[in-house]
Amino acid sequence: MVVVGDVVVVVGAVVDVVVVGAVVVVDGSVDVVVELMVDAAVVDGVDVVVGREVVGVVVPAVVVGAPAVGSPWRVIAQETPPATPTPNKAPMAARNLRRLTSAMYRVCHRPGGGLGRLRSRLVPALEHLGSGKVREIYAIDDAELLFVATDRISAFDVILPDPIPDKGKVLTGLSLHWFDLLDTPNHLITADLSGVPGVADAERGELAGRAMVVHRAEVIPMECVIRGYLYGSSFKEYAAGGGPTTEHLPGGLEMASRLDEPIFTPATKAESGHDENLTEAEARDFVGNALYEELRTRSMDIYLRAAEYAAAHGIILADTKFEFGMVDGDIILIDEVLTPDSSRYWPADEWAPGRTMPSYDKQPVRDWLEAQDWDKTPPAPELPADVVEATRNRYVHAFETLTGTSFDDYAKSAVT
């Protein structure tokens, strides 16, 4: 069973003595917002969607109510799971569990709101390789991948239930801009999806502006962070007495101080949770001296050129991180580059050391979450509409200021 477009199947089932569910739908309205990595399956002859990963809200198996007239929902099957899993049902469920396909869905709904549509689109013709906090990765063939930037947003290492409209297009558009401007070896092949096999016109329209075809690369598992200013976690580390990211800095610096020379502060690339900052000695031991020097030199060169370009556009590039990989023995730049998600951008005319700086990123989200009674573990609270809008505006402003291009024009041109 493959579900494409606006048809979503949500039925609970008991599998291996664990009640696994999906989206709560009561009287045709979605009660929660979740993101599911799902397996379509058959349990005891009933089509179900079995959640393997629920980001934001862990939902038990539920009864799916009848959708309201005119809503995009349609119920494929219904099953009322027992309040307590029955042990003797588990073996039968396990025997009958038949996996058919995998997909990623973003189900969004706000009463009276305009976010009720899929934000992570299924590409059924391609093998889905993995999901990050923002990206979906699909295999095109042995040499190429399809990278799709969704509108998901995370804070404090938790993916939030509310997408930021057009965020994925901003990230992709800015990456394309920088890849072209920097002219450094990178993984980009094309943003033209017409040659991707099996992708229908409707899917290309949905993916346009937020997807790109890239080379497969062997990822170097060390993030290359360049800091030109002392801020964020690095300043907290410095103020607490120092650590890996500040080991070479002099004393007497303030928050947002401009460093005499940018510093290279690599970190391990974690599969989940926080990356771990490395001292210079640890980083050299981790990747070897020769590769360390190559990554440091390339990262510093890219940062300095990008910082000079940003400064000419009235923006400070305070810090950023790069990822590199190997293709046929060559080191290339991979993933996104110099976006508001991977970089800290400040308005140059508002910079002053010793105080908090406004930034062109998800700062409105972080500020709002910090003011809530939330322990920074899933599920995260839903974002107010004004916070979502303010965050979108910052991403779009960064795009337009750095590229000199109207975001609306970019979005329109991507689908033509």
Q: What is the DSSP string of 165-227?
A: TTHHHHHHHHHHHHHHHH---BSEEES-GGGSTT--HHHHHHHTTTEEEEE--EE-SEEEEEE
Distance between start and end Cα atoms, the chain:
32
Using one digit for the tens of pLDDT, what is the confidence trace for 301-354? 999 999 999 999 999 999 999 999 999 999 999 999 999 999 999 999 999 999
- Mean pLDDT for 180-195 is 95
Distance CA 377, CA 157 (A): 8
More confident residue, 8 or 187: 187
- Integer Cα distance of 75 and 62 in angstroms: 13
- The Cα 323–Cα 192 span in angstroms is 23
Pick the range with the lowest mean pLDDT from 41-50, 92-101, 139-148.
Answer: 92-101
DSSP 8-54: -----EEETTEEE----EETTEE-S-EEEEEEEEEETTEEEEEEEEE
Per-residue pLDDT band at 123 (split at 50, 70, 90) = confident
The answer on pLDDT for 374 being more than 70 is yes
Mean pLDDT over each residue of the chain, to the nearest integer: 76
Distance CA 122, CA 200 (A): 11
pLDDT at residue 157, rounded to an integer: 85
Higher pLDDT, 172 or 26: 172
Q: Domains of the chain (ranges plus CATH)?
A: 13-107 (no CATH), 218-363 (3.30.470.20)
Whether pTM > 0.85 for this model: the answer is no
Q: DSSP letter at 57? A: -
Helix (H, G, I), strand (E, B) or coil at 288: coil
Mean pLDDT to the nearest integer, 355-372: 95
Q: What average pLDDT score do residues 284-300 get?
A: 98
Element (H, E) at 158: strand 158-159
